Amino acid sequence: MANHPSADKRNRQRIAATLRNRSALSAVRTAVRNARKAITEGDRKVAEMVVFAASKLLAKAAGKGALRMQTAARTISRIQIALNKLA
């Protein structure tokens, strides 16, 4: 229980941010999973579209602070390298 109004507000902000970040990270994990699955299936056109969508979600989550920039960059790089190996 917060003893000051400012601590109470901080707690409300923490709860809202946690919900936002949880939603964004869940979408990112699903997109990356789908991208890796599309790459292993081997269809280049479909894999390109799914990897692009995953990269966009990763960049958006990193820009909003739900994910560290370096983590997003590393993940984007890894799925892009895996996609390039299909060619």
CA–CA distances in Å: residue 1 to residues 12, 18, 52, 78: 12, 18, 44, 44
Angle (CA) 72-77-81 rounded to 5° is: 155
34: domain CATH number?
1.20.58.110
Statement: the pTM of the whole predicted model exceeds 0.75: yes
Q: Which of 2-6, 11-15, 28-32 has the lowest mean pLDDT?
A: 2-6
Q: How many domains is the chain partitioned into structurally?
A: 1
Q: What radius of gyration do the chain's Cα atoms show? A: 17
CB atoms within 10 A of CB 56: 12
The pLDDT tens digits for 39-71 are 999 899 999 999 999 999 999 999 999 999 999
Domain of 59 in residue numbering reads as 5-84
Taking residue 73's Cβ as centre, other Cβ atoms within 10 Å add up to: 13
